[in-house]
Chains A and B, each alone.
Chain A
Amino acid sequence: DTGVSQDPRHKITKRGQNVTFRCDPISEHNRLYWYRQTLGQGPEFLTYFQNEAQLEKSRLLSDRFSAERPKGSFSTLEIQRTEQGDSAMYLCASSLNWASNTEAFFGQGTRLTVV
């Protein structure tokens, strides 16, 4: 396993279109996180899953955003009716067992540009 994989790496879309990103975590990791990073800022938490259950969503996650992890493995993040303000890097991370504070591994991200 080579780490957390995100697809696509880059996405350019027109305003109003829907987009979907995929994250494949490290295979045995039960926790999966989505973050958003805008230019010049640190990543901001969006949501996380433990196995297939979505346990927390940030207020940043408007109703145009939806995330799923149907089988507790890969996850998808969908943005409906994209707006220019959605342009950002979307980062996925996974971890095995937070109680013992093992490392959260980050993917390389999907860069979204809304034109």
Chain B
Amino acid sequence: GEDVEQSLFLSVREGDSSVINCTYTDSSSTYLYWYKQEPGAGLQLLTYIFSNMDMKQDQRLTVLLNKKDKHLSLRIADTQTGDSAIYFCAESSTGGGNKLTFGTGTQLKVEL
């Protein structure tokens, strides 16, 4: 079945860039997503990329997709303390209702 993997923890200083990585196994993935989860809150969609794209930029967020290696990354520029949260990579494929398969999440800690 599908599998999505992420590193568990990342610590950065405020103002630095953060890069969160994700690998997936499903070659039929159509869309790949980044969600943010803060304590006590639901999942918030940050951005997504279609599988025929290599890069997508949205303000401070840059998503890079290497489809050959099945590797996805999320770069957050000028990381702020408010960016501290758990970040989930997720993928969906056509058919079967496009349900999401999530990674285990990367906890980002931003230090002053």
Q: In chain A, what residue has the closest Cβ to B48?
A: A101
Total cross-chain contacts (CB, 8 A): 53
What bracket does the count of chain A residues touching chain B fall in?
20 to 34
A4/B42 in contact, CB under 8 A: yes
With contact pairs A56-B97, A98-B97 given, residues A44 and B102 touching in the complex (Cβ less than 8 Å): yes
Which of the residues B43, B44, B99 comes within 8 Å of A56, measured between beta carbons? B99
Whether, in the assembled complex, A104 has its beta carbon less than 8 Å from a beta carbon of chain B, the answer is yes
A91: CB under 8 A from chain B?
Answer: yes
Residue B18, interface by CB 8 Å:
no
* Contact for B99 among A33, A40, A106, A107, CB less than 8 A: A33
Give CA–CA (A45, B4) in the complex, Å. 13
B100 at the interface (CB under 8 A from A): yes
**With known contacts A41-B105, A42-B4, A42-B88, A48–B99 Cβ distance under 8 A:** yes
Interchain residue pairs A-B with the least CB separation, the first 3: A42-B102, A106-B42, A106-B43
